[in-house]
């Protein structure tokens, strides 16, 4: 039995009651603090950004990069903890993950204000819309940032229980990758086409990114179960590869045989939509 | 839903003797025809056949998604990119209008029939869960169930055990019915029997969507290009024409007559930066004000159509779809200075109206030029290409028509101030800039495209489809998040036998049944565990 399996089995068997995991004593909601504190903190940053303007808070892009750095730290600590269980690493991972969530969410919220100020809130003042017209859900960058904090929040929420705490070891590396991709896309603002200035946009993308976050954590949990049950990593690898190949072919077909075409060396995405 | 239906059969209570063996009367001497009909009906009502149809339909829908459909605005451009072979093959197979293809509709009709017939086939079994409950059981029966547990409590009396078991089942929110037979008591504990009927409600939802689809098939989608002060009672629809697949006539534009006339009263484009272009990135919204005159009743209805705010009239839905170039002005302000010197006047000219100077000269806009230039031959250069594509206003100028009080008519250009200053010294420009009596300068104007393009949908099935999806979603949740759970608790000779099963979420059921067993063993057990 590998150390990873042992760690998971030990954690799964842990009793609910035995749990000073975050090192904050016996407060009934203490285990939820890594999820709740960043929410409060990000809202404070938002308030400061609204009240005092762009000079007092870091720019949204900066906050997102700080979030990424924290996630990298958290991922490293938690993954190490998987193979070399050290209580300190576990706590460190949880709290740096929590810090990452704070920066990540604050970045997204600050971006909301920045998007509005960029247009002087003209959609509200002159076109009868609400501040939802400026919600940072306009492109893949925005979506990824939201996806990342949604997944981080879900991870931190379910980390309140000792027997699911190790999920972070899988989800934080993934969150890190998503945010890394976002940073590569770049935080330029896009001009919103009028057709997207609709109340459906926050609903459409909000529900989608929320479900992504939850799906990512479910994925992490199921991987953990596979490891726990001793499924060979080779078997998992083959399944993932098969899934990737099928997905690749589907995307290729979706592009009307033109996108991601391995034969043409032309990787322009030509989606149907 | 096939799975659910199958589960229904699998778990069906024992049918009364003879029902399962019942064969059509006269089984021995059936004619060949009736065998064929029987076989066909059996196929038609079989679940695997339904799944095959469903897969075929999904493939059809994917084709409809991957291959652009003919009514789309972008279809002509898409079509032009296809190879000649693709044009002919896709065209012959009806892929450009797959949702109206005969085979697609036939498949859907077959699937509807399949769902109805399969439901009729399976419904009696599901219904008997409700009407013919198995209220009595033997210990053997209980111990043959997927979940089984035996609790031995010889120290308690029979009646006491029955009461305890009934209370336990009720505490775990089962409906419990007690049946006494000789020295054996059966407590039939049940939850969520309605779940057996959920599948049929899901089918009702699906069929409602299909009905909506067939109604939608009788509708039309098209577009209408309309300029302010124009009227139209036609909508245009692209139609693919297979016989001309590889000629320029491959796509016909069909005109459909509407039962009303649409008059455009005004068309406005609101910009974020008023100095910027008409491009999408600089646009807040387009507003088309229309007056609809009903041809039957003569009633007039005014409406404002803008982005994401369609307008409904007699089953027709109008959307702001797009806008048509060239770039023009909705209203403009002009400074008019007498060439003989004297006080200049400011006038405002709407794009389709007139303005009057103090001396009674009437001014109107002939045409607006967003990128005015003069060629070598001293003629105004108006490149069609640029006029119909450019969203910028690099050198705006307005060509005005005038009628003086004594009836003299003519035309004159009003340039923007910068350009007017630049060229006022060029002698040949003089003839453009004044009409002898006045010089005109364009001081300000509101940018706007020439035409509004409305999309018009006549969709008699929309509401039905919405209703169908609502039913479908609600019923899917109802079916899959709940289950039919049955637990037979048999009390006999100081023993309590618990056995039962559920049609879904077996783990959840077993958890609950274990708690019932625990409560029978020790009525305080739940408190000790600390749950619920
Ligand atoms: C920033 C993010 C997104 C933007 C700006 C966006 C925008 C759009 C737009 C403009 C459409 C076409 C609407 C129309 O045809 O009227 C659309 C359709 C759609 N989107 Fe998104 N979307 C986003 C994210 C997502 C995500 C994350 C998902 C799924 C997980 C998703 C699923 C869909 C689906 C299923 C459709 C319908 C496709 C169809 O009708 O054929 N979208 N979206």
The string of pLDDT tens digits covering residues A38-59 is 999 999 999 999 999 999 999 9
Q: ipTM above 0.90?
A: no
| pLDDT at residue A269 greater than cutoff 70 | no
pLDDT of residue A26: 56
What SS3 state is found at A28?
Answer: coil
Which DSSP letter does residue B20 get?
A: T
Nearest CA to A78 out of A171, A177, A169 is that of A169
Whether A117 contacts chain B with CB within 8 A: no
Q: Whose CA is nearest to atom 28 of ligand 1?
A: A208
pLDDT of residue A11: 67
Nearest CA to B186 out of B492, B518, B485, B500 is that of B492
Distance of residue B234 Cα from the nearest chain A Cα, in angstroms: 25
Q: Do A127 and B270 lie within an 8 Å CB cutoff?
A: yes
The nearest alpha carbon in chain B to A198 belongs to B308
Nearest CA to B53 out of B130, B108, B14 is that of B108
Compute, in angstroms, the gap from residue B53 CA to the centroid of ligand 1. Answer: 28
Q: Whose CA is nearest to atom 24 of ligand 1?
A: A205
Q: Whose CA is nearest to atom 16 of ligand 1?
A: A195
How many C-beta atoms lie closer than 10 Å to residue B233's C-beta?
Answer: 17
The three-state (H, E, C) secondary structure of B351-389, written as one string: CCCEEECCCCCEEEEEEEECECEECCCCCEECCHHHHHH
Answering whether pTM is above 0.90, one says no
CA angle B445, B449, B453 (to 5 degrees): 150
What SS3 state is found at B452?
Answer: strand
Name the burial class of residue A57, with classes exposed (0-12), middle (13-18) and buried (19+) by CB atoms within 10 angstroms of its CB: buried
Compute, in angstroms, the gap from residue B303 CA to the centroid of ligand 1. Answer: 29
Task: Work out which ligand 1 atom sits closest to the CA atom of A140.
Answer: 1
Q: Whose CA is nearest to atom 26 of ligand 1?
A: A208
pLDDT of residue B18: 41
Instruction: Spell out which residues line ligand 1, taking CB within 6 angstroms.
Output: A 137-139, 142-143, 196, 204-205, 208, 273
pLDDT of residue B434: 77
| Strand intervals (E) in B71-219 | 147-152, 175-181, 184-191
The nearest alpha carbon in chain A to B319 belongs to A195
Name the burial class of residue B215, with classes exposed (0-12), middle (13-18) and buried (19+) by CB atoms within 10 angstroms of its CB: middle
pLDDT in tens, A7-46: 777 766 654 434 444 444 555 677 888 899 999 999 999 9
Compute, in angstroms, the gap from residue A197 CA to the centroid of ligand 1. Answer: 13
Among A194, A197, A207, A272, the residue to mutate for chain B (most B Cβ within 10 A)? A194
pLDDT level of residue A273 (50, 70, 90 thresholds)? very low
pLDDT tens, per residue, chain B with 532 residues: 344 433 334 444 444 444 444 444 444 566 788 899 989 889 999 999 999 999 999 999 989 988 889 888 888 888 988 888 888 999 999 999 999 999 999 999 999 999 999 999 999 999 999 999 999 999 999 999 999 999 999 999 999 999 999 999 999 999 999 999 888 999 999 999 999 999 999 999 999 999 999 999 889 889 999 999 999 999 998 888 888 878 888 888 889 999 999 999 999 999 998 889 998 889 999 999 999 999 999 999 999 999 999 999 999 999 999 899 889 999 999 999 998 888 899 999 998 889 999 888 999 999 898 888 887 777 777 667 777 788 889 889 999 999 999 888 988 889 998 888 888 777 777 777 777 788 899 999 999 999 999 999 999 999 999 999 999 999 999 999 999 999 999 999 989 999 999 999 999 999 999 999 999 998 887 765 544 4
Contact B444, B348 (CB under 8 A): no
pLDDT of residue A267: 52
CB pairs under 8 A between A and B: 37
Distance of residue B507 Cα from the nearest chain A Cα, in angstroms: 17
pLDDT of residue A136: 95
The nearest alpha carbon in chain A to B82 belongs to A256
Rounded Cα–Cα distance for residues B526 and B524 (Å): 6
Compute, in angstroms, the gap from residue A118 CA to the centroid of ligand 1. Answer: 25
pLDDT of residue A262: 57
Q: What is the C-alpha R_g of chain B?
A: 39
CA atoms within 13 A on the CB side of B393: 24
Contact B200, B220 (CB under 8 A): no
Contact B363, B355 (CB under 8 A): yes
Handedness of CA A176, A181, A184, A185 (dihedral sign): negative
Residue B386's contacts (CB-CB under 8 Å, 6 or more residues apart) are B371
Summary mean pLDDT of chain A: 84
The two structure tokens encoding residue B174? 């089962």
Rounded Cα–Cα distance for residues B516 and B519 (Å): 5
Rounded Cα–Cα distance for residues A24 and A33 (Å): 9
Whether A123 contacts chain B with CB within 8 A: yes
Contact B398, B371 (CB under 8 A): no
Identify all chain A residues contacting B283, using CB atoms and an 8 Å cutoff: 193-194
pLDDT of residue B453: 95
Contact B258, B233 (CB under 8 A): yes
pLDDT level of residue A164 (50, 70, 90 thresholds)? confident
pLDDT of residue B56: 96
């Amino acid at each position: 039995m590998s150390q990873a399996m042992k760690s998971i089995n030990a954690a799964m068997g842990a009793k609910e009651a035995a749990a000073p995991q975050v090192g904050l004593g016996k407060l009934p909601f203490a285990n939820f603090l890594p999820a709740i504190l960043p929410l409060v903190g990000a809202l404070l940053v938002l308030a400061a950004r609204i009240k005092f303007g762009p000079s007092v808070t870091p720019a949204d892009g900066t906050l997102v990069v700080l979030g990424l750095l924290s996630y990298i730290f958290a991922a490293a600590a938690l993954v190490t903890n998987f193979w070399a269980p050290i209580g300190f690493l576990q706590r460190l991972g949880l709290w740096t993950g929590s810090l990452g969530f704070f920066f990540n969410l604050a970045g997204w919220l600050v971006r909301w204000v920045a998007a509005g100020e960029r247009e002087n809130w003209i959609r509200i003042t002159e076109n009868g819309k609400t501040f939802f017209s400026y919600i940072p859900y306009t492109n893949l960058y925005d979506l990824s940032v939201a996806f990342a904090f949604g997944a981080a929040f879900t991870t931190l929420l379910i980390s309140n229980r000792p027997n699911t705490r190790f999920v972070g070891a899988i989800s934080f590396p993934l969150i890190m990758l998503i945010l890394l991709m976002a940073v590569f896309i770049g935080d330029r603002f896009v001009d919103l086409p009028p057709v997207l200035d609709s109340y459906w946009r926050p609903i459409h993308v909000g529900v989608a990114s929320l479900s992504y976050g939850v799906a990512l954590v479910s994925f992490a949990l199921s991987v953990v179960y596979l490891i726990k049950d001793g499924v060979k990593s080779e078997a998992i690898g083959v399944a993932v590869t098969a899934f990737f190949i099928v997905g690749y072919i589907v995307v290729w077909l979706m592009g009307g045989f033109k996108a991601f075409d391995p034969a043409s060396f032309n990787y322009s995405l030509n989606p149907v939509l | 839903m096939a799975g659910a239906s199958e589960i229904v059969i699998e778990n069906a209570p024992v049918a009364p003797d003879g029902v399962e063996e019942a064969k059509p009367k006269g089984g021995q001497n059936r004619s060949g025809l009736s065998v064929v009909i029987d076989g066909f009906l059996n196929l038609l009502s079989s679940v695997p056949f339904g799944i095959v149809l469903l897969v075929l339909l999904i493939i059809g829908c994917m084709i409809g998604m991957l291959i652009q459909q003919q009514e789309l605005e972008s279809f002509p451009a898409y079509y032009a990119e296809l190879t000649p072979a693709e044009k002919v093959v896709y065209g012959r197979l009806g892929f450009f209008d797959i949702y109206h293809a005969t085979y697609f509709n036939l498949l859907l009709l077959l699937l509807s029939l399949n769902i109805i017939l399969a439901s009729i086939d399976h419904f009696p079994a599901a219904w008997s869960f409700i009407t013919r409950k198995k209220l009595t059981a033997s210990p053997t029966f209980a111990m043959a169930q997927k979940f089984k547990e035996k609790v031995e409590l010889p120290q308690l009396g029979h009646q006491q055990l029955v009461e305890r078991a009934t209370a336990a089942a009720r505490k775990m929110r089962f409906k419990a019915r007690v049946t006494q037979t000789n020295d054996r008591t059966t407590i039939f504990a049940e939850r969520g029997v309605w779940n057996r009927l959920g599948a049929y409600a899901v089918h009702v939802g699906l069929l409602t969507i299909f009905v909506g689809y067939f109604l939608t098939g009788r509708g039309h989608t098209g577009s209408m290009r309309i300029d302010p002060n124009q009227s139209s009672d036609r909508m245009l629809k692209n139609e693919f024409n297979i016989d001309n697949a590889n000629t320029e006539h491959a796509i016909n534009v069909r005109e459909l007559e509407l039962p009303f006339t649409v008059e455009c009263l005004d068309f406005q484009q609101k910009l974020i930066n008023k100095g910027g272009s008409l491009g999408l990135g600089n646009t807040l919204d387009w507003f088309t004000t229309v007056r609809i005159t009903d041809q039957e009743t003569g009633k007039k209805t005014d409406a404002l159509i803008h982005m994401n705010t369609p307008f409904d009239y007699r089953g027709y839905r109008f959307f702001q779809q797009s806008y048509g170039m060239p770039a023009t002005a909705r209203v403009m302000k002009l400074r008019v200075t007498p060439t003989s010197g004297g006080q200049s006047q400011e006038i405002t000219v709407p794009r389709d109206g007139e303005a009057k100077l103090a001396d009674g000269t009437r001014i109107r806009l002939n045409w607006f030029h967003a990128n005015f230039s003069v060629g070598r031959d001293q003629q105004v250069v108006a490149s069609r290409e640029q006029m119909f594509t450019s969203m910028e206003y690099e050198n705006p100028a307005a060509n005005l028509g005038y009628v003086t009080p004594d009836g003299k008519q003519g035309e004159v250009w009003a340039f923007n101030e910068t350009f007017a200053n630049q060229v006022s010294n060029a002698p040949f420009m003089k003839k453009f800039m004044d009409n002898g009596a006045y010089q005109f300068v364009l001081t300000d104007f509101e940018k706007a495209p020439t035409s509004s393009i409305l999309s018009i949908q006549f969709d008699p099935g929309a509401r039905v489809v919405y209703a169908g999806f609502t039913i479908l979603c609600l019923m899917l949740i109802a079916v899959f998040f709940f289950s039919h759970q049955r637990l037979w608790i048999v009390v006999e000779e100081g023993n309590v036998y618990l056995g039962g099963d559920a049609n879904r979420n077996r783990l959840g059921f077993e958890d609950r049944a274990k708690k019932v067993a625990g409560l029978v063993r020790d009525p305080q057990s739940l408190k000790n565990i600390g749950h619920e």
